[in-house]
Amino acid sequence: MIYDLLFAPFAEFEFMRRALIGGMALALAGAPLGIFLILRRLSLTGDAMSHAILPGAAIGYLVSGLSLGAMTLGGLIAGFVVALASGAVARVTVLREDASLAAFYLISLALGVTIVSLKGSNIDLLHVLFGNVLALDEPTLYLLAAIASMTLFGLALIYRPLVLETVDPLFLASVSRAGAPVQLIFLALVVMNLVAGFHALGTLMAVGLMMLPAAAARMWSADISAMSIIACAIGVASAYLGLIVSFHTGAPSGPLVILVAGLFYLVSLVFGRAGGLVRLIRPRRHLEA
């Protein structure tokens, strides 16, 4: 009974195994990135970037149909262009980075949807917007795994300057030139993971496995290492549970994975020991000194 409920879907169906591995790769790499996005107050930037990669993927689709390589390359290029352009606009004009990013991603999203609907069917549009975690083929899986490995390696490489760049940017600037390249590498890792997430979850939800586990983890710990581990665990658990529920109910898998992550977030919001609402209902106490 329990075996049928929890393990049989994966033992019996290869597409479920693939989906699980893909989801786990996304969760493992995305969670630590999400932690830094939150600590750098860039949560919405991740969201905006995930929309921004759409026209790139759409142009890739226009050129060669539902092809992994073309859509990935297009997404990466569009992501980098929007990230760099909004950074440049913020430096050169009076607009702040959040405003210019919002402008670019809205243009980008509209452009992407227009391109896809001109050429393709509604099914294709749904695929691009919401992905399909159950249709991950071998090459896509390799791509997800490669991106996850590169992300964890890259994050380890820039970890120290990234922390310093976040907590005390002026100090980092006074001792090293690493600040700007570190920001760029970090942004590049985010874009790469959004493109990876795009294949499984679609552009609209690619950012979900990045932000929701990270935001939930923040409610349980104030230590970055602990937060990263908790976020990874929540992400992997969301992928697994989401797929199980989707298998048994027949509801679409991508949104269910994100919904489960959202559930983890809501529960953490209430019960989290390091920042949840539960702190507020305990009687007020304080120490002697």
Partner 1 sequence: MAAALHFHDLTLGYDLHPAVHHLEGSVARGDLLAVCGPNGAGKSTLLKAIAGAIEPLGGKVERLACKAREIAYLPQAAEIDRSFPVNVFDMVAMGFWHSLGLFGGISRAQRQRVFDAIASVGLTGLEDRSIGTLSGGQMQRMLFARLLLQDAPVILLDEPFTAIDSKTTADLLAVVARWHREERTVIAVLHDDEIIRRHFPKALLLAREAVAWGATNDVLTGENLLRARRMVEAFDRQAHECERVA
The least CB distance from residue 90 to partner 1, in Å, is: 16
Give, as ranges, the residues between 21 and 60 that touch partner 1 (CB under 8 A). 39
- Six token digits for residue 23: 């989801």
Closer residue to partner 1, CB minimum distance, 65 or 169: 169
Cα–Cα dist 264/232, whole Å = 12
DSSP class of residue 166 equals H
Closer residue to partner 1, CB minimum distance, 2 or 170: 170
The least CB distance from residue 271 to partner 1, in Å, is: 20
**Binding-residue pattern over the window 147 to 186 for partner 1, x denoting contact by CB under 8 A:** ----------xx-xx-xx-xxxxxx-xxxxx---------
Closer residue to partner 1, CB minimum distance, 126 or 163: 163
In 202-252, alpha helices (H): 208-218, 224-249
Task: Please report which helix (H) or strand (E) contains residue 8, including its range.
Answer: helix 8-12
- Determine the residue type at 120: G
- Six token digits for residue 90: 């913020």
Write phi, then psi, for 259 (nearest 5 degrees). Answer: -65, -40
Closer residue to partner 1, CB minimum distance, 26 or 227: 227
- Six token digits for residue 125: 């549009």
The least CB distance from residue 172 to partner 1, in Å, is: 8
**Binding-residue pattern over the window 208 to 227 for partner 1, x denoting contact by CB under 8 A:** --------------xxx--x
Handedness of CA 251, 62, 194, 205 (dihedral sign): negative
The least CB distance from residue 128 to partner 1, in Å, is: 37
In 168-178, alpha helices (H): 169-175
Number of amino acids touching partner 1 (CB under 8 A): 22
Interacting residues with partner 1 (CB under 8 A): 39, 157-158, 160-161, 163-164, 166-171, 173-177, 222-224, 227
